[in-house]
Chain A
Amino acid sequence: MIGGLFIYNHKGEVLISRVYRDDIGRNAVDAFRVNVIHARQQVRSPVTNIARTSFFHVKRSNIWLAAVTKQNVNAAMVFEFLYKMCDVMASYFGKISEENIKNNFVLIYELLDEILDFGYPQNSETGSLKTFITQQGIKGQTKEEQSQITSQVTGQIGWRREGIKYRRNELFLDVLESVNLLMSPQGQVLSAHVSGRVVMKSYLSGMPECKFGMNDKIIIDKAGKGGVTNEAGKSTSGKQSIAIDDCTFNQCVRLSKFDSERSISFIPPDGEYELMRYRTTKDIILPFRVIPLVREVGRTKLEVKVVIKSNFKPSLLAQKIEVRIPTPLNTSGVQVICMKGKAKYKASENAIVWKIKRMAGMKESQISAEIELLPTNDKKKWARPPISMNFEVPFAPSGLKVRYLKVFESKLNYSDHDVIKWVRYIGRSGIYETRC
């Protein structure tokens, strides 16, 4: 198990050091600094073995978090734990920065004592941690409160405390998708997938039992066969269903129920959390198509023409569109002409950045650029990195639709109809690249 946990600043000075196991000595702190943080070469692996001691690290801005062990630990768990720790710290004091860590080091030690025992991760849900690690000291807790805390920390529903009350029961669903594409210069899709998240903000009283439904092909097919189509209260016919390759759920979701009935039921944590992640690869709506044309004119000039086409309903508007056209390192000057938006050559980033604020569906726009090159005797060819794109569209490129989210709370007197529900869809570009 994890033998120790260190946090360093970018210089390699240790900000937090907590050792859990006797086999980890103080020299481990220095070993990591010397061999990884101060190493000349770029980091080649997130796992480093130095003198039979293994170091796992993640970086958050310029802060290094390292877990150390001498045993054959579960590596995936260690990284998941480090991420979790970042989440916990962020939810307590915001950004993970040197200053914040220094100012909160007592809190961090207290957290580390609680969420890691002898190197074994313990309950790390901020919801319940915040009930008893407060930095205010536990004042005047009654016995009931104490046992409520402990039963929540160790209990089955560690993520939600009892007795939550809202005057207005309300929930918000965000379907956030990132669409990834790698396209050949000829317009052939080399790989494309959507990785999506359903984020829920719930402000519900009591311990509500929720059930979430979407246009997942398997569920709809199942329902269709069984003849029970209006699970959602309205007919699903005419709506397209989508094939989900795989999905993962927040720990509140009853996985065995999903496995057997493919129904997503859960008691949600209070406030904002990620309900599920999913991935689809079939029938993806690619919101933009990039058509590149690069021509080398002699050794000292490049002509680039890029056309983008938007491929969605004309009534919808894409936003924050940015096309990044890489330029060779020996670029001496660039002239750009674009029909829409603004384009600029950014020498420091070796790219032409073309920004368009808004663009409706089924439109197209074009940029052309002349790139002048300094003659070099560098034998190596320019690697021609792909043209990448960023954008945001108000629909889900996977085609996912939320069909329902039902809320049942039998003990309190509100019903599913009383809950105010909101949903929105945002599709963003992930790695959206076209080779040129």
Chain B
Amino acid sequence: RYFPLLHGPGVTPKTIIIFELKAELNNEKKEKRKEAVKKVIAAMTVGKDVSSLFPDVVNCMQTDNLELKKLVYLYLMNYAKSQPDMAIMAVNSFVKDCEDPNPLIRALAVRTMGCIRVDKITEYLCEPLRKCLKDEDPYVRKTAAVCVAKLHDINAQMVEDQGFLDSLRDLIADSNPMVVANAVAALSEISESHPNSNLLDLNPQNINKLLTALNECTEWGQIFILDCLSNYNPKDEREAQSICERVTPRLSHANSAVVLSAVKVLMKFLELLPKESDYYNTLLKKLSPPLVTLLSGEPEVQYVALRNINLIVQKRPEILKQEIKVFFVKYNDPIYVKLEKLDIMIRLASQANIAQVLAELKEYATEVDVDFVRKAVRAIGRCAIKVEQSAERCVSTLLDLIQTKVNYVVQEAIVVIRDIFRKYPNKYESIIATLCENLDSLDEPDARAAMIWIVGEYAERIDNADELLESFLEGFHDESTQVQLTLLTAIVKLFLKKPSETQELVQQVLSLATQDSDNPDLRDRGYIYWRLLSTDPVTAKEVVLSEKPLISEETDLIEPTLLDELICHIGSLASVYHKPPNAFVEGSHGIHRKHLPIQHGSPVSAGPAAPIEQAQSVIPSQGDLLGDLLNLDLGPPVNVPQQSSMQMGAVDLLGGGLDSLVSDGHSHRIANNRVYLFGLECLHVHISLFIVYLFPQIWLPAVKAKGLEISGTFSRRQGQMYMDMTFTNKALQHMTDFAIQFNKNSFGVIPTTPLPIHTPLMPSQSIEVSLPLNTIGPVMKMDPLNNLQVAVKNNIDVFYFSGLIPLNIFFVEDGKMGTFLYFFIFFMSKDIYTVSGKLQNDNIYTIAKRNVEGQDMLYQSLKLTNGIWILAELRIQPGNPNYTVKHPPNLNSPHSELRSHLLFLSVEV
């Protein structure tokens, strides 16, 4: 075989191949040329650069052989961008093809042109595209519809300027269903990048057209239409119902995507239907069988379906509550299907089916896949917590599993047993001995922390608790933060229970935590314990060994706002990842957040009320935002308060208000209420807060005081409290010798200076005085708590009046809790900032924010002058001028009595 003469230095075999192809592409015979183009495409597929053949390939374009033409187009789509100047050579041929009598060729040309992202070609595309959008042949029109989306992706401005959007909208009324479907798809995509424009113009007429097309178009078209319908907000329940009625037949489609998209529409519109109505209940019943049927599909579709069912079960558990059996794991299910099924099984477990579920879980715990087995063990623990009747059997099952001595099974079992102990205190402690036997085999932080917690919590029942804990102390600095924190707390507990033998141990751990550690969490907690133990051991005992709140039954629930958003994305990737689209989609697409429709005309409570209750028991899974807040052992805080954590932790918190600190580090894993947002189970003040912003009001009317009128208000400026008063003389004689005195009051408020009125007050004269106050006076509980009784004397008589001190003036400037807690702006909105800004002026600090059910929740801290800390949750509903204040659930603390009377403050912002 001869090689071309070019063979020489610098000529590699690759260039030879290119050279040969070049020759073949210019062959006279049509067949040869076609074969050559095929070779080029083959080379292109495997990633070889064949762009240098551009002119030769384009030369082959002028052919009436459709197959060859398609190959050339394929090449063009790949390389036009890298060779824009040469790509222009192809334009003529495209424009010509757009006029071809054969509709297949016209469509092919316009389809390909849209894929070539070269400006010059795009310019030439407009005219042919305009014609094709009005082509007599539906095949050309449906292709042109998609082409508008392509063009929009290249040059959005051009699409708008050329009026293609209008043409596209016209196509929604096209007689051909496939044209309609593609137009809908294109418009939906374009409107994603213009979230506010009403591009799709979904009005009842258009919806009707879509619903008609739905019955006639291909399975894919049905998906486009259903996905689009799900973005529509019906104006009332009647419209919602009539759309639902026309969508439900889709539930019997063989294509699972059609089914899921229909489910999405129905789940969204269910929100609008009255719960009592027959139709609502019929619809719920109709949803269950198709969801079950999805599980007989191919494994990949099963996976998508299961991820979605997981959402649906959380949103509307009633739909599938009877169907738990279909989620039983089959031996040869792919692992991803098994894991998802298990998740749903736990969610559906109830007293009615617990026996079956447990039997299943026991089987699974003996399987081979480590993740699956772990999850199964965890599930057994969850069952115990969820269904009390089954707890005993679950515990004995777990013990059996521990006896297998399979390392990861043991560790997982210990973690769940810890939770069971929390849920049923003083019930299953007999098994502690068995647990302790396995201490040495634990090498995972979770399991170690769980075991340490158990030892600390039941130190009085474990004879060698000190030895056990001491053994962990050796490698203290190598442990994870989670283990360190738990160990610290456990040893302090141990010390409080057995002070005599463990003094050394506790000193050791405190010094390890405070002096040798760089971790602010650990240090702060160490300092708190240290001060607690050294100042007031009795309180320390009350605090550290206080009763813990019960844990919740459900775990890993998706945060309700996110859940609602995900329900709007059923069937899509977002529902598979369980993340909102903006978490994984770049650019403008998907930033627009979707919401469930809200029922009109009825109080908001009807719809979202139930989820709010649910919100109470949300335990975030690791890694989500709330989880970050709860998990003390996560990495560096995202938004650290300005003050150094050291300063504040050591100084302020340990002041007078310390007695209300309740600390137990374990709680973060199964925190069941929001108190833990604040890092410790601390500061449980039982309050209903009401701030009264008093505009100057008349405290002492003139008629009651022989012509002296006193009006006034309280304020706080530069860290100082003031009583601002206006004295008006409405009598006919002048007044002198003013003096003021306060009765004993709840906060020990007294004036710091005498009443600064030194000149006589002439008739009909007014004088404004600011009386500085402090809180060092004698304390007596008043009713209401913030009542202040005042006596004012002048040359005429002594007068008495009383006024309510607005609580905010007691809020001291350092009320910002920051020390050992990480706070984090969870959800930002303008509204929330105005409110929290306003509050901050009054020394009420926002520690954390989150958004639940469309309501902003502000978590506030404030500190009263007498050192009492107050925590509150402020709930703000958009459009609702009333804010709800909620206090953390009560926990016993020494001053709870006082506090239960404390404060009524109403926030008027």
Taking Cβ atoms with an 8 Å cutoff, the residues of A that contact B are 1, 13-17, 19-23, 26, 29, 42-47, 49, 52, 54, 56, 58, 69-77, 79-83, 105-106, 109-110, 113, 117-118, 120-125, 132, 135, 137-138, 141, 143, 146-147, 149-151, 153-156, 158, 182, 184, 190-191, 193, 195, 245-251, 254-256, 258-259, 274, 276-277, 279, 379-381, 383-386, 388, 431, 433, 435
Contact = CB atoms under 8 A, between A and B. Distances in A.
Nearest to A108: B45
**6 nearest A-B residue pairs (beta carbon):** A246-B289, A150-B139, A76-B257, A259-B249, A77-B257, A255-B249
A154 B178 contact: yes
A46 B299 CA distance: 9
Given A110-B70, A433-B330, 19 more contacts: A17-B47, A22-B153, A43-B334, A46-B303, A72-B572, A72-B574, A72-B589, A80-B257, A121-B220, A122-B178, A135-B67, A137-B65, A151-B138, A154-B176, A190-B359, A191-B328, A255-B252, A255-B253, A383-B367
Interface stretch (B99-107, B554-562, B635-643, B681-689): B99-107
29 contacts: A14-B47, A47-B303, A52-B585, A72-B581, A74-B223, A76-B260, A76-B304, A83-B301, A106-B67, A118-B146, A122-B178, A122-B218, A122-B220, A124-B218, A137-B65, A150-B104, A151-B139, A158-B178, A184-B359, A195-B296, A247-B252, A248-B293, A250-B254, A255-B250, A259-B249, A259-B252, A279-B292, A383-B368, A431-B331
Interface string B473-492: 00000000000000000000
Contacts of A141: 102
B703 to A, nearest CB: 71
Contact of A274 (B111, B215, B254): B254
B255 to A, nearest CB: 5
A341 B150 CA distance: 64
A74 B41 contact: no
B571 A150 contact: no
A123 B298 contact: no
B166 to A, nearest CB: 20
Which interface residue of A20, A147, A254 has the most chain B CB atoms within 10 A?
A: A147
A98 B326 CA distance: 36
B576 A380 contact: no
Interface string B133-159: 000011110110011011001000000
B861 interface: no
B848 interface: no
Contacts of B253: 248-249, 251, 255
Contacts of B500: none
Contacts of B368: 383
The A interface is mostly helix, strand or loop, or mixed, namely mixed
B38 interface: yes
Contacts of B254: 248-251, 274, 276-277
B218 A123 contact: yes
A256 B179 contact: no
A56 B300 contact: yes
A256 B138 contact: no
Contacts of B47: 14, 17, 26, 29
B301 A118 contact: no
A77 B220 contact: yes
B843 interface: no
Contacts of A81: 220
Contacts of B359: 184, 190
Contact of A380 (B67, B336, B404, B589): B404
Nearest to B360: A190
B523 interface: no
A109 B581 contact: no
A184 B139 CA distance: 57
Interface of B: 38, 41-42, 45-47, 65-67, 70-71, 73-74, 78, 101-104, 107, 111, 114-115, 117, 137-140, 142-143, 146-147, 149-150, 153, 176-179, 182, 185, 189, 215-220, 223-224, 227, 246, 248-250, 252-257, 259-261, 289-290, 292-293, 296, 298-301, 303-305, 325-326, 328, 330-332, 334-336, 356, 359-360, 363, 366-368, 404-406, 569, 571-577, 581, 584-586, 589-590
Contact of B577 (A49, A135, A149, A248): A49
Which interface residue of B115, B140, B259 has the most chain A CB atoms within 10 A?
A: B115
Given A54-B573, A56-B300, A246-B293, A118 B406 contact: no
Contacts of A147: 103, 137
Given A74-B572, A149-B104, A184-B359, A256 B215 contact: yes
A435 B360 CA distance: 11
Contacts of B185: 1, 120
Contacts of A191: 325-326, 328
A383 B406 CA distance: 13
Contacts of B590: 71-72
B70 A15 contact: no
Given A76-B257, A146-B104, A381-B404, A137 B66 contact: yes
A258 B303 contact: no
Contact of A16 (B38, B45, B101, B575): B45
B45 A79 contact: no
A415 B161 CA distance: 58
Contacts of A386: 331
Contact of B223 (A52, A77, A249): A77
B38 to A, nearest CB: 6
Which interface residue of A19, A158, A379 has the most chain B CB atoms within 10 A?
A: A158
A256 B249 contact: yes
Given A75-B575, A246-B290, A255-B253, A14 B300 contact: no
B74 A258 contact: no
Nearest to A117: B146
A90 to B, nearest CB: 14
A431 B305 CA distance: 20
Contacts of A69: 573
Nearest to A6: B45
Given A74-B257, A245-B289, A154 B328 contact: no
B189 A1 contact: yes
Contacts of B107: 150
Contact of B218 (A158, A246, A247): A158
A16 B296 CA distance: 30
A153 B289 CA distance: 32
A26 B253 CA distance: 36
